[in-house]
Structure 1
Amino acid sequence: MTDFKPNARRAATGHGVWLQRTPSPTAARRVFCVPHAGFGAGVFGNWPEQRHGIEFLPVELPGRLSRFADPMPTTFGELARDMIAGLERYLDVPFAFFGHCWSALLAYEVTAQLQERGGPTATRLYVSSQQAPQDGPAGRMLGMDDTQLAMELESTIRAQGNKPYPELVSIYLDMLRADVEISRRYVVPEPPRVSCPITAIGWTDDCEVPPDQMGGWPVCGDTAFKLFAGPHDRFIDAPPELVKTLCVGMYDRG
């Protein structure tokens, strides 16, 4: 991939690192849910653990929550490689990746790298509120300084019903800045096409990434578009129509 750099670090593995709970050995399918910029696996706290035999597994990325001490790679290529190493033991049933905004690009990169490796490949890729790789890097946070990013974090924390304590904002600011810089480096003018279907999900009231900016995803693979009511971060609430779409897609390769 265009931004890949060799990395001698050994990727950490195990459900206690990349996953917050042990995957069920009886799950028929798995959807790995990747948190968006500046946040950890807890953002999927409202999501079901299983639905219709499909297990939803939030992924914990480096530098977050239980992984504060783990260094964050500097490119999506490195991060995707480490994530594959950490999750590969759980790719023994049909699986997919769900990414929202920033993490949609990581979900795509992981899916593409798995295909390049020639091992197990994803059943489907779900991308929400994000432009296709060849149309970026894009996003208003790319032009924000730390003060503006901190204000953004405070607003998001309040919207989730929590108090933006300065210590908490400071921790998340470092994480968000690192994520923004990874996005800035992700330049993919000719993205490889993935063999699995892509479901591109837009939101009617999304002021961050309006749905009409997501039209480039067919370059990356066969793409179906879904539009749901709500603002940019409505995915946090696990809307029934979103969960249903993910479940249906896991049993339909068309």
Structure 2
Amino acid sequence: MSTPPPRRKKPPRWLLRRPDPDARARLFLFPYSGCGASMYQAWPRRIGAVDVCLVQPPARQNRIAEPHYGTYETMAEGLIEHLRPHLDKPFAFFGHCSGALPGVEVTRQLAAAGLPLPTRVFVSGQVAPHDGPYGRLLELDRDGLRTELGHIITNLGGKPTGSLVEMGLEVLVNDVEANKRYSPGHVTIPAGITAIGWTDDVEIPTKLMGGWQDTSADCRSVELEGGHFEFLSAPEALLAEIRRDFGEWAEEPAEPGQG
């Protein structure tokens, strides 16, 4: 009796859903510490003609059984291998707070490998790499992070039950450690940067985000109304900034026979 061939291991599922092959452009969203891709559940499937693609790091949600990525550098390596087929259209990255830094590292590694580069990197509520690591969460012990995770779950519309908090605590601890380890110094990002601050953000005040001007020859800074978690609801002001910087790629093509 012949031995059946070994099962092929399924590739890691770095994107929560399959990108639309017919989209004009793509925006890859990175979650922040302690969260998975579903934190963007309130965001639209498209922003104009831009396909919204949700990045799912390991060790959370549908990848809960996988080991944590450890560092942003390691995370970028694994993600780039999966992203290659989806870089055939104009694309950009968006991340808020700690979620902004993986987009920076992925861009650096894409450039080093001679691969397509994002047209824009949107960084929201985060200091430039050479001004970090920075943030209140980085100073909290395990008990403090447990409390913080309860606040995060509440802001995402959930109920912070004991079991839910404990399940996510290890992810948050490891994510915060990855943030602490990311100290690339002064970097030059070979893509446009849009640095987005928020008027009522007490975690990362806009005045601390000036360092992004030194990371790219094309850096635009804006400040929008709201606090640290305002971006979760995909406010129209934020979507307008994204459409603005995608330019013509965000415009829906005219119907046949129209102007």
Which of 110, 114, 117 is residue 114 of structure 1 equivalent to? 110
Contact 2:93–2:122, Cα closer than 8 Å, also in 1: yes
Tell me, yes or no, if structure 1 residue 183 matches structure 2 residue 184.
no
**2:64 matched to 1:68?**
yes
Determine the C-alpha separation between the residues in 2 that align with 1:158 and 1:22: 28
1:218 to 213, 218, 223: 213
Q: Aligned runs of 1:3-152 on 2, under 5 Å? A: 13=11, 17-152=13-148
Amino acid at match of 1:200: A
Answer whether contact 2:28 2:55 (CA < 8 A) is retained: yes
TM-score normalised by length of structure 2: 0.89
Deviates more, 1:112-121 or 1:203-212: 112-121
CA shift at 1:12, angstroms? 7.4
In structure 2, stretches of 5+ residues that fail to align are 1-8, 250-259
Counterpart of 2:194 in structure 1 is 199
Structure 2 Cα separation of the partners of residues 92 and 161 of structure 1 = 35
For the Cα contact (< 8 Å) 1:13–1:85, is it kept in 2?
A: no
SS at match of 1:216: helix
Which residue in 2 is equivalent to 1:7?
none
Tell me the number of residue pairs that the alignment of Structure 1 and Structure 2 aligns: 240
How far the C-alpha of 1:177 sits from its partner, in A, is 0.3
| Contact 1:33 1:99 (C-alpha < 8 Å) held by counterparts | yes
Larger deviation, residues 72-81 vs 26-35: 72-81
Offset at residue 47 of structure 1 (A)? 0.5
**Which is further off, 153-162 or 133-142?**
153-162
For each residue in 1:31-70, what CA deviation from the matched residue of structure 2 results, as whole angstroms up to 9, or x when unmatched?
A: 0000011000111001011122100111111111000111
2: CA distance between counterparts of 1:12 and 1:152? 34
Match of residue 151 from structure 2: 155
Q: Is this contact kept in 2: 1:36–1:100, CA < 8 A?
A: yes
1:154 shift after superposition: 1.0
Tell me if structure 2 keeps the 8 A contact 1:31–1:95. yes
Q: 1:251 aligns with which of 247, 252, 259?
A: 247
Runs (4+) of structure 1 exceeding 4 A deviation are 11-14
What residue in structure 1 maps to residue 204 of structure 2? 209
**What is the CA deviation profile of residues 161-207 of structure 1, one whole-angstrom value per residue up to 9, with x for unaligned ones?**
3211111101111010001101111112221x122210000000001
Distance in 2 (CA, whole Å) between partners of 1:140 and 1:37 is: 12
Deviation at 1:13, TM superposition (A): 4.3
Question: Structure 2 CA distance, aligned partners of 1:162 and 1:73?
Answer: 25
RMSD, aligned α-carbons: 1.6
- SS of 1:125's equivalent in the other structure is strand
Q: 1:164 to 1:82 in 2, by over 3 A?
A: same
Deviations 1:50-98 (A, max 9, x none): 1221001111111110001111122111111111112111111000000
TM-score normalized by the length of structure 1 = 0.91
Which AA in structure 2 matches 1:233?
F
- Contact map agreement 2:33 2:172 (CA 8 A) in 1: yes
Once the two structures are aligned, what percentage of the paired residues are identical?
A: 40
Determine the C-alpha separation between the residues in 1 that align with 2:83 and 2:248: 23
Q: In 1, are the aligned partners of 2:107 and 2:190 still within 8 Å (CA)?
A: no
SS of alignment partner, residue 174 of structure 1: helix
**Residues of 2 paired with 1:133 and 1:238: CA distance?**
25
